[in-house]
Amino acid sequence: MIISVFGPEGIVTSTLSRDIFYDKVEIDGNETLVPIESQGLKHSYVFCGRFALTYKRLNQYTYDNIIIDSFRQLEKTWDEVPHITEFMPYFKKMVVDNHLEIIGVMSAYDTMEDGRKLPFVYQILGEDIRRVNADKNGNTFCHFLLLESETIAGKLIRQTKVRNGDEWEDTIEPRLRCDLYSNEKSIDLCRFLLRTEWYMTNINSACLNASVKADVTIVDESGINQLLVDL
């Protein structure tokens, strides 16, 4: 899961520092999915010193060196740092051409022609890459983005339906006032949702109370800051 909160102070994006993949193993003639937990894989990359990517690989056989090499080759396209709106089409072409099966969030502050510095947040779902913090007129807004392979934590913060007898009832959707969040508060929301997903995924596991950390990237007008925080 990847969470990005874009508030008035900046953009906070986070994901678990560990990855769990599943491998098919034959036991007594039956195929069984065995979880493989990995720590230390890369989840972030800063392009040109300005554009911060937080990502998760969907294919366990796409290794760090393949991904990072693709990123470094892309950076060689320009002698000077481009505007992010120029950069992103090239980024999408790189993902498609190299068959990178990733999900992620690209975040940055960049300067417009009138001198204003504006936030940019892009959702990356394989080849589906689009800006998610501006309306059709280009007006930016505060909100959050949640990318999950299976909807777990998202059920808590989005309106859903529950069955009560023969009737389906709407649940109450909590109102997240991201427009009032400091960067510190945005980190709190990320920690809560990541920890909730960890608990729900491992509720029947002995590792339920294991020490879990998250990779956090903070992007604001002053620059980019990357942290490793306890959940």
Q: What is the mean pLDDT of residues 199-219?
A: 81
pLDDT of 151: 63
Condensed to tens digits (0 to 9), the pLDDT of residues 92-122 reads 999 999 989 899 999 999 998 888 999 999 9
Name the strands in the sheet holding 2-6, side by side, starting at the edge strand that comes first in the sequence.
143-147, 2-6, 11-16, 213-220, 223-230
Instruction: Convert the pLDDT of each residue in 13-27 to its tens digit.
Output: 999 998 877 777 877
Alpha-carbon span 40 to 169, nearest angstrom: 43
β-partners of residue 13 are: 4, 217
Q: What is the pLDDT of residues 19-69, one digit of tens each?
A: 877 777 877 778 887 777 777 789 999 999 999 999 998 888 778 888 999
Tell me: pLDDT of 72 over 70.
Answer: yes
What percent of the chain clears pLDDT 70, i.e. is strictly above it?
A: 89
Task: Give the H or E element holding residue 167.
Answer: strand 167-170
Instruction: Say how far apart CA 109 and CA 116 lie, in whole Å.
Output: 10
Distance CA 35, CA 204 (A): 14
Ranking 67-76, 133-142, 164-173 by mean pLDDT, the lowest is 164-173
pLDDT > 80? residue 178: yes
CA torsion sign, 49 to 51 to 55 to 60? negative
What pLDDT, on the 0 to 100 scale, is given for residue 231? 83
Q: Residue 156 has what pLDDT?
A: 65
Helices marked H in the chain = 64-75, 84-97, 154-157, 183-201
Report the alpha-carbon distance of residue 55 to residue 40 in Å, rounded.
14
The stretch 78-87 carries a mean pLDDT of 94
pLDDT at 167: 74
User: In sequence order, what E strands does 17-94 have?
Assistant: 18-27, 30-39, 44-47, 51-57
pLDDT for 139 equals 92
Task: Provide the sign of the torsion angle of the four alpha carbons 2, 183, 72, 133, taken in this order.
Answer: positive
Say if residue 10's pLDDT is above 70: yes
